Amino acid sequence: MIICKVTGSIVSTIKNPNFEGKKLMIVQPLDFDGSDTGDAFLALDTVSAGVGDRVLINKEGGSARIIFDNSEIPVQAVIVAVIDEIDLSPASDSGKKEI
């Protein structure tokens, strides 16, 4: 799983039939401090994420295909959650880290 920020979306009138009705988003991996890390990539959205949202990405092709119950879909990365907050504090500390 990877934490990312949605930076854009892809619009296509002609696409693989397995992508019909699905949103393809551009995501940028983030460090825990919220800094960009690595290269942006594409992910199929399953949670109605929008530009600017922090999201959790499943970037395992086989697992991504299981999410769609489709062994033919050409996908490697899937947005599986929108992140509200991340808590990096020890269990005894109630402070939260916002990225």
In the predicted model, is pLDDT for residue 98 greater than 80?
no
Please name the residue that has the structure tokens 């929108």.
82
> What's at 48, amino acid-wise?
S
Contact in structure between 43 and 4 (CB atoms under 8 Å): yes
The string of pLDDT tens digits covering residues 10-32 is 999 898 998 888 999 999 999 98
Token digits of residue 40? 């942006």
Domains of the chain: residue spans and CATH = 2-82 (2.40.50.220)
Q: What is the pLDDT of residues 26-70, one digit of tens each?
A: 999 999 888 999 999 999 999 999 999 999 999 987 887 888 888
| CA within 13 Å, CB half, 34 | 10
DSSP state of 64: H
Handedness of CA 53, 67, 20, 73 (dihedral sign): positive
